[in-house]
Amino acid sequence: MQPPIPTGTVLQNRYRLINLLGQGGFGRTYLVEDQGRFNELCALKELTPPQTGYGLGKSKELFQREAQILYQIEHPQIPKFRAMFEEDQRLFLAQDFVEGKTYREILDDRKSRGFVFSEQEVVQLMQQVLPVLSYLHEKGIIHRDIAPDNMILRDRDKLPVLIDFGVVKEIATRLQQSSTNHSPTTVGKLGYAPIEQMQTGNAYPNSDLYALAVSAIVLLTGREPQEVLDDNTMTWNWQRWCQVSPEFAQVINRMLSITPNQRYVSATAVEQALAGRSSVGVQQTIAPNESPNFPARPVIPSSMATIAVIHDNDDRLEPPLPGKRSPNAIPERTTLWDDPWAIALIGIGLATLTAIGIWALRRPSKPEIVASPDVTVAPIAPTLKPSIKPTPKPIVKPSEMSESLDITPDKPTSRSGKLTANQTLTLNFAAKQGQTLDAAISGEGVLMTLSRPDGQLLGDRAKRVPSWLGELPLTGDYSIQLKTVRNVEKSDYKIDLKLVDPVKPTPTPTPTPTPTSPTPIPNPGNPERVLFLPGTTTSVISGSANGQQVKRYIIEAKAGQLMEITVQGAKFNVIGPSGNPVPDASNRSAWRGFQLPVGDYQVEIVTPTPADYTLSVTVQ
């Protein structure tokens, strides 16, 4: 393989290489500026084919054919093909650059904070991707590599974009086969691609639907396909790891059918099935003591997980020739009359019904009563059964309750009671900007949603959660909505609330340094390890800083623990065991982390001026 092209090189007097973004066994991806289009950024994919013989000619042939197909794709949720060219015996393909994060990156970020995707989010993703697949399938193109890595949430419009319509992996796979070897080409991610694609190389439109369903359960559960697929029975045990509506689970399970003819026939059919389900969105949260333990690059179309777009004869949705079955046709569903056992059972059933009918006709009827001239027979009044009408079930209308709370700073407030499935309780309270709110619900049957005075959620981790800790951004009336967990008819609840005022440090005069005074130490001695008394989970440390020092404390975290840190009178940063800053834990006065990696965490206390501070650490 030839070496990478140096940064700054201009190809075709147009594409200036900014940096190398990815490299695999068969090619590379570069971020380049298109100087012919006002220096727009684009992704440039390189394939380094064999330099001589059959491989070089075949590479160019396949590259040309696939580029022509990509040129035909005109969809706003697919990176647009720009150009293909050859230079220095290297083949290049230019496509639009997509700014955003892949759904794999978004999932990894959420898992690090104890969250995964909700049903509502996954349904929305599917409803936005399915029309794209319908567009491709109508053109005879099968993606073959649907996965969270190959879908980007575009920054500018928040729409999912299908990436990796490149040719590197497809061409490389074909070049590994000899010219006389007709074994099928296999492209797709293990665990995401269905069995017909991985074993035989055949792919149908609903092979993409299978991969989309696998991607959905990965986003819902935060677990890889190998963790939820029983390879002995080939059944998916994904519902134990998340909570979704039965209608949505039915759609996903049908998309995951092992044989193609049991799945939905098209992406449009899945759209219709999703539209007919009841609208339910359940926020998936990983609690600190739950059993699942979840094990930045510029976001561009990746060249190392490339998608096969069209294959020699196995991806076109063409009608079969007369007398010949199309290799792309989805196997026909077997009818009842093709099963001899079914025909035999139907015959036995008909014979039994006939015998019963003959017996009913030939059995003796009741004797008639003939009245003699001297006897008067009174007619027998028919016995009327009383009409019993079922008592209709009362219609339970949802009820909403509201209560105003007067929370005194630094004084804990609690509320308790019962909630039923049709009830919603909203607690309103006034708070000031900069105050720290600590809210937690005891029990497992009720969750809360916190809203700001402007009606927006109080952050991305404030919907349907059991606890919340953080600094309030505005002054005004906040609200906490309490509702039962889905499928729970009635539950007790207790909510504990506490507001903490920010501590304003009292400025002290800074002594004027004399020529003989020592230079202030920015990083004093060894960090102090936070210790906990036996039987306790919270440690409180008071200290002071002169505004020129950084006080450091070491906290040990074990597997599956929850860590809460609050500081009054100062701000703090958290450094993880790897030596890197912990996301969302910089310049904070309060922070809470779930499912943290095992190891020592370092807390840095920062004060711009001399001040006293109080550090509170809880690990449980």
Is residue 366 one of the residues assigned to a domain? Answer: no
532: its two tokens: 């906990």
**Residue 496 and residue 544 in one domain:** no
Same domain membership, residue 481 and residue 595: no
Q: Which of 503, 498, 468, 500 is nearest to 482 (CA)?
A: 468
Domain-located, residue 563: yes
Question: For residue 142, what are the domain limits?
Answer: 10-178+185-275
Among 451, 481, 500, the domain-final residue is: 500
Q: Where are the beta strands (DSSP E) in 132-196?
A: 151-154, 160-162
Quick: pLDDT tens for 115-135.
999 999 999 999 999 999 999
Please determine, for residue 467, whether its predicted confidence score (pLDDT) is greater than 70: yes
Are residue 263 and residue 409 in the same domain, yes or no? Answer: no
If asked whether residues 60 and 204 sit together in one domain, one would say yes
Residue 130 shares a structural domain with residue 230: yes
Residues 30 and 163 in one domain: yes
How many domains would you assign to the chain? Answer: 3
Residues 157 and 57 in one domain: yes
The listed range with the strongest mean pLDDT (83-97, 250-264, 391-405) is: 250-264
Residues 79 and 212 in one domain: yes
Same-domain pairing of 568 and 487: no
Same domain? For 486 and 576 the reply is no
Say whether both 539 and 490 belong to one domain: no
> Could you tell me if residue 312 is inside a domain?
no
Single residue among 253, 275, 297 that ends a domain in this structure: 275
Domain boundary among 226, 249, 275: 275
CA–centroid distance for 23 within its chain: 27
Q: Indicate which residues carry an active-site annotation.
A: 145
**Per-residue pLDDT tens for 224-249?**
999 998 878 888 999 999 999 999 99
| Residue range 559-583: mean pLDDT, rounded | 84
Task: Label residue 524 by pLDDT band (50, 70, 90).
Answer: very low
Residues 552 and 489 in one domain: no
Please count the other Cβ atoms lying within 10 Å of the Cβ belonging to residue 421: 16
Q: Which of 272, 211, 217, 210 is nearest to 249 (CA)?
A: 217
Residues in CB range of 529: below 8 A, 6 or more apart:
553, 554, 555, 556
CATH number of the domain enclosing 248: 1.10.510.10
Structural domain includes residue 14? yes
Query: Is-above-0.85 flag for pTM?
Result: no
CATH value at residue 475: 2.60.120.380
